[in-house]
Amino acid sequence: MTGDRYAVGLGDDLTKSCTVNTNIAPITEKPEILLDIEVLGLRPGSAIVEIGAVAFCRETGEISGEFHRLIRPDDLATADLQTLQWHAEQGTWPRVSRDMGVPIYLALSDFSAWVGEIGTETFWSWGASFDFPHLDAAYATLGIPAAWRYSRCQCARTVWNVAFPATKATPKPHHALEDAKISAGDLMRALSQLAGSREAVLIP
């Protein structure tokens, strides 16, 4: 299997090398980012209390960068009783209070700066209808440009369901960074499975 190698700079002290398989499309020539958030409600505009993300190379399976922020609940954001009760029942109450974390403006500004360092153009979340809409609403409310173009937001759960239709994904603890790591691992497994299936079809 042939490929091209390139270096990815992640800040001043971390550089990873990633092999790109040029025989299987689409594979970007940059790391990809999978993100996860914890929120106190189901509707966009609810309080985001945690954001986690990882940069990964789908070809090597490497996690080459991490981002994590606990976010102080905002007075302008909302919460709903159903979500709070669900967290209480699951034992996954968000690890943040008004005397912890950073303001949402700083968390999103830091996240956008980290994305700029990674240099990615491809973003994933586990499901297309939750994380991205919540973050888009927060960016818009704060007047900050989103860290992505809408056309570059991908659904990792859909890829998993296509690759492994009869298999449940790895359980997650509902802590943003840990969830992002687990989801990225499952996504890379699914992408590898689909790439292998395609190669098998193409072999004469």
Q: Are 10 and 64 in contact (CB under 8 A)?
A: yes
pLDDT value of position 9 = 33
Chain segment 162-187, per-residue pLDDT in tens: 999 999 999 999 899 999 999 999 99
Residues 79, 9: Cα–Cα separation, whole Å = 38
Strand boundaries in the chain, DSSP class E? 3-9, 15-21, 32-39, 48-57, 62-70, 123-125, 153-155
pLDDT value of position 94 = 63
Rg for the chain, CA atoms, rounded: 18
Residues 166, 181: Cα–Cα separation, whole Å = 22
Residues 79, 81: Cα–Cα separation, whole Å = 7
Average pLDDT over residues 115-123: 94
Beta bridge partners of 32: 56
In the predicted structure, residue 65 carries a pLDDT above the cut 50: yes
Domain 28-202 in this protein, CATH class: alpha beta
CA angle 80, 98, 37 (to 5 degrees): 55
pTM above 0.85, yes or no: no
Chain segment 67-113, per-residue pLDDT in tens: 999 998 776 577 777 777 776 777 666 665 566 789 999 999 999 99
Residue 167 main-chain phi, psi, to 5 deg: -120, 130
pLDDT value of position 5 = 34
Domain ranges in the chain? 28-202
Higher-scoring residue by pLDDT: 92, 44: 44
